[in-house]
Amino acid sequence: MWWGFKLELKKGMRTKKLWAVLLIMLLLYIPVIYLLKQGIGSGGEMSGEAAMAIMIQFITGMSMFFLGIVAIVMGATSVNKEIEEGTIRVVLSKKISRLSYVLGKFSGQSVVFFGAVLLAVAVALGGLAYVGVDLTGSVVSDVLLLNLVLFMVMVEFLALGYILSTFLKSSGSALGVALVLFFIIYLVIPIFVQYEMYTHAPSGISEGGLRDLKADYYTKYIFYSPTAQVEVITSYVSDYKEVKKTVDTPNGKVTYTKSIPTYNGVGHAIRTRWVNVLLLFLMSAAYLALAVARFVRMDLR
């Protein structure tokens, strides 16, 4: 396993894998840093909590799309491409077990992702400091935890890609199936689940109640989707406080209830939705276990 890990890590550092992931993450952070700079530069002040709320909303939506595609495509072409090129038979002739090979390869690619995440954390913190946000302990913690959650998304998609790579011997076919599967998991199924959620949602439900209902549906019906679980987790970064407002109308005073979000941080969201965090770990392990079970039995000719 150690040999396979070092080999894949060296390949990842020499090739464009690390730099592709890092470039995507930088392209995601740079626009939000620019928006924060424009907002603060217009004369207003922005707290670390407000800056993090904007960053989380912007980053999680875009990053899960691009990083998810990169991870599942990388996984879908990891094994079958080496079978096509014949390099895998040369590697396994060195008395390395199939189990050690595939686990080492997966671990090496995961470390490449983790290295890109750490660099992205440094860029995010540097950007926040540049725009004038006070880097308190809570801000640093939130940036780190946010990127660790994104790392878990990439690992799960990578493991899902390994399933395709071991069941489909053609890397070209696996690539096409990976893209289709990603869009089904990321877009198509959530649309149907949300439709069912809104159909069964009680009338007059508050924003907080709708968020809880969505979390229940996503946890129950899309537990296999890392993007769905992260969407649930990040939705609990802020809680909703119900406040009664009274306004004057032509027909007299009208009182209504308004939901006001209050930022609590990424750590609070992770503690509140620990089930969804656990699902990220469990499904990653399940996907990898299925891929490993297939690989140790497959014909490599």
Give the residue with greater pLDDT, 203 vs 196. 196
Residue 63 identity (one-letter amino acid)? S
Q: Are 151 and 114 in contact (CB under 8 A)?
A: yes
**The pLDDT of residue 123:** 82
Sequential DSSP letters for 122-158: HHHHHHHHHHT----HHHHHHHHHHHHHHHHHHHHHH
Contacts of 200 (CB under 8 A, 6+ apart): none
Give the residue with greater pLDDT, 11 vs 185. 185
Residue 244: beta bridge partners?
257
What pLDDT band is residue 290 in, cutting at 50, 70 and 90? very high
Q: Are 47 and 139 in contact (CB under 8 A)?
A: no
Dihedral pair phi/psi, residue 3, rounded to 5°: -65, -45
CA 295 to mean position of chain CA atoms? 26
Going by the DSSP 8-state scheme, the letter that residue 261 receives in this structure is E
Find the mean pLDDT for residues 98-103: 83
Sequential DSSP letters for 213-257: HHHHHHHHH-TT-HHHHHHHHHHTSEEEEEEEEEEEETTEEEEEE
d(CA 82, CA 88): 5
d(CA 142, CA 20): 24
Give the residue with greater pLDDT, 33 vs 118. 118
What pLDDT band is residue 88 in, cutting at 50, 70 and 90? confident
**The pLDDT of residue 47:** 66
Q: What is the pLDDT of residues 125-178, one digit of tens each?
A: 888 888 777 888 788 898 899 889 989 999 999 999 999 999 998 888 999 999
Q: What is the pTM of this model?
A: 0.86
Q: Are strands 252-263 and 238-249 parallel, antiparallel or unpaired?
A: antiparallel
Angle at 236 between CA 231 and CA 238, to 5 degrees: 125
Q: Which has the closest alpha carbon to 168: 102, 68, 100, 84?
A: 84
Q: Is the pLDDT of residue 112 over 90?
A: no
Highest mean pLDDT among 10-19, 76-85, 209-218: 209-218
Q: Are 117 and 22 in contact (CB under 8 A)?
A: no
**The pLDDT of residue 78:** 86
Conformation bin of residue 256: beta by default, left when phi > 0, alpha when psi is -120 to 50: beta
**The pLDDT of residue 163:** 95
Contacts of 247 (CB under 8 A, 6+ apart): 253, 254, 256
Q: What is the pLDDT of residues 16-63, one digit of tens each?
A: 655 666 677 677 777 777 777 776 544 555 666 777 777 787 777 777
Residue 48 identity (one-letter amino acid)? G
Domain ranges of the chain: 2-202+277-295
What pLDDT band is residue 244 in, cutting at 50, 70 and 90? low
Find the mean pLDDT for residues 215-240: 91
**% of the chain at pLDDT higher than 70:** 81
| CA distance from start to end of the chain | 22
**The pLDDT of residue 30:** 76
What pLDDT band is residue 6 in, cutting at 50, 70 and 90? low
State the DSSP H helix or E strand holding residue 263, giving kind and residue range, or none if neither. strand 252-263
**% of the chain at pLDDT higher than 90:** 33
d(CA 197, CA 57): 22
